[in-house]
């Protein structure tokens, strides 16, 4: 086990994989020295663990897997491809992070693991905890309901409803307690480190050539930052990463442009997996996205609904959050920001089968 995390604000280092926050309050970044990415080090396994050799802090025998990753990359139209990550075991891309964090800390858990999430991440952690035979406690906002909550309960996780803001839910999940280990996706550097595998897969599935542009729906920032680190590690040509948000919830869009952001009082959007208004990783996202020449795009509700129907009309049933990348791409094509010849990948993160009944009703009415 070689593990090291570093604070991007004050430089303090931690070798304990259970640490998710610096003493100064900042999120941590993994700073493990990875071996050079060589194709011959890729294993012959049809899961994301074909890249296990690039996770030096994980012992092969400890891997907790449900067969996550290595999801299809399909041609959607022309040079536009879709990465079908909603086909993961729990129906979302979060399984990459859940498998990684639980494999990394499994031997150190004596009591239970805790996550705060109102949806996909909670379901993922609950599933992988069940697979590993450990207890999970998922903290959710008090008002939340729907299929993702049912899924969390079905896996046998304990559900804790917390009154108050989304930040209050996080605080409760992180509150130290004997035997409790916090693995939350919004903070834990190991969770988002698992998302590096998305970069490797996209490049390998395109015949070892990176695309020109990748459109990624962004809420907490785990997917965006993980993919970014993956491409850094691949050290080839860097695709343009486009962080995609909605007009309703767009903290990254505003911070990236140096504008103030005040979220609306009611977060009414069909893209209900993109509702984090104050992501802890916001500063890190802005800094890193600038460093690699990325950008941020936003779209409105109508554009999202259109994209949802366009995907479904081709047999691809995703939650509206996963239609945001296609909507952003179409918008950029229209204003001439994208060359039609560009090779583009859209990340589809969550399954349509988990949609809230009220949302699918709205989309079909």
How many residues at the interface with Zn ion, by CB under 5 A?
A: 7
Q: By C-beta, is 274 or 285 nearer to Zn ion?
A: 285
Cβ closest to Zn ion, residue 27 vs residue 91: 27
Nearer to Zn ion, 29 or 68 (CB): 29
Q: Which stretch binds Zn ion (CB under 5 A): 3-11, 83-91, 247-255, 315-323?
A: 3-11
Task: Check residue 140 for interaction with Zn ion (CB under 5 A).
Answer: no
**What is the smallest separation between the CB atom of 232 and Zn ion, expressed in angstroms?**
21
Which positions from 296 through 325 interact with Zn ion, judged by CB under 5 A? none
Q: Mark the segment that binds Zn ion (CB under 5 A) among 5-13, 121-129, 227-235, 343-351.
A: 5-13
Note whether 13 binds Zn ion by CB under 5 A.
Answer: no
Q: By CB under 5 A, tell whether 7 contacts Zn ion.
A: yes
Report the distance separating Cα 136 and Cα 360, nearest Å: 29
Residue number, 23 or 339, with CB nearest to Zn ion:
23
Taking the complex as a whole, how short is the minimal distance between the CB of residue 230 and Zn ion, in angstroms?
A: 24
**Can you list the positions of beta strands (E) in the chain?**
5-6, 13-14, 29-30, 73-77, 80-84, 112-116, 135-141, 158-162, 180-182, 213-217, 240-246, 295-299, 344-348
State the sign of the Cα–Cα–Cα–Cα dihedral 265, 266, 271, 275. positive
Q: How far is residue 312's CA from residue 306's CA, in Å, rounded to a whole number?
A: 10
Closest to Zn ion by CB, 26 vs 31, is 26
Q: What sign results for the dihedral spanned by CA atoms 109, 111, 115, 119?
A: positive
- The 3-class secondary structure across 127-174, one letter per residue, is HHHHHHCCEEEEEEECCCCCHHHHHHHHCCCEEEEECCCHHHHHHHHH
- Residue closer to Zn ion by CB (options 129, 190) is 190
Answer for the pair 58, 106: CB distance below 8 angstroms, yes or no.
no
Structure tokens belonging to residue 156: 């046998």
Residue 221 CB, shortest distance to Zn ion, in Å, is: 18
Contact mark string toward Zn ion, 18..57, x via CB under 5 A: ----x-x-x-------------------------------
Q: Is the dihedral of CA 14, 18, 20, 24 positive or negative?
A: negative
Strands 180-182 and 158-162: unpaired
For residue 292, state whether it binds Zn ion (rule: CB under 5 A): no
Task: For Zn ion, give the closer residue by CB, 9 or 31.
Answer: 9
Residue 189 Cβ vs Zn ion, minimum distance, rounded to whole Å: 13
Residue 10 within binding range of Zn ion, rule CB under 5 A? yes
Tokens 């992070």, residue located? 97
Question: Rounded CA gap, 103 and 190, in Å?
Answer: 10
Residues in contact with Zn ion by CB under 5 A are 7, 9-10, 12, 22, 24, 26
């Amino acid at each position: 086990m070689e593990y090291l995390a570093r604070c991007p604000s004050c430089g303090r280092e931690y070798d304990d994989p259970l640490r998710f926050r610096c003493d100064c309050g900042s999120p941590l970044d993994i700073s493990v020295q990875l071996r050079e990415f060589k194709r011959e080090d890729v294993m012959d396994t049809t899961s994301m663990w074909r890249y296990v050799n690039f996770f030096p802090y994980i012992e092969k025998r400890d891997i907790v897997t449900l067969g996550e990753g290595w999801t299809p990359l399909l041609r959607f139209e022309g040079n536009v491809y879709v990465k079908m990550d909603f086909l993961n075991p729990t129906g979302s891309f979060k399984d990459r992070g859940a498998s990684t964090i639980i494999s990394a800390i499994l031997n150190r858990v004596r009591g239970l693991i805790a996550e705060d999430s109102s949806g996909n991440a909670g379901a993922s952690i609950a599933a992988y905890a069940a697979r590993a035979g450990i207890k999970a406690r998922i903290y959710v906002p008090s008002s939340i309901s729907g299929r993702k909550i049912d899924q969390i309960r079905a896996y046998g996780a304990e559900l804790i409803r917390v009154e108050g803001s989304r930040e209050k839910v996080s605080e409760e999940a992180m509150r130290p307690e004997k035997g409790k280990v916090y693995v939350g996706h919004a903070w834990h550097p190991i969770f988002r480190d698992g998302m590096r595998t998305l970069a490797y897969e996209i490049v390998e599935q395109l015949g070892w050539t990176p695309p020109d542009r990748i459109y990624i729906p962004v809420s907490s920032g785990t997917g965006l930052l993980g993919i970014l680190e993956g491409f850094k590690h691949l050290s080839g040509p860097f695709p343009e990463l486009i962080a995609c948000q909605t007009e309703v919830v767009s903290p990254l869009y505003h911070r990236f442009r140096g504008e103030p952001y005040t979220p609306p009082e009611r977060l009414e959007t069909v893209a209900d997996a993109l509702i984090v208004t104050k992501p802890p990783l916001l500063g890190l996202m802005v800094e890193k996205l600038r460093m690699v020449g990325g950008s941020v795009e936003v779209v409105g509700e109508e554009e999202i609904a259109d994209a949802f129907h366009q995907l479904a009309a081709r047999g691809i049933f995703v939650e509206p959050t996963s239609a945001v990348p296609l909507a952003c791409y179409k918008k950029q094509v229209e204003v001439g920001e994208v060359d039609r010849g560009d090779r583009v990948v859209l990340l589809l993160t969550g399954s349509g089968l988990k949609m809230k009944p009220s949302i699918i009703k709205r989309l079909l009415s």
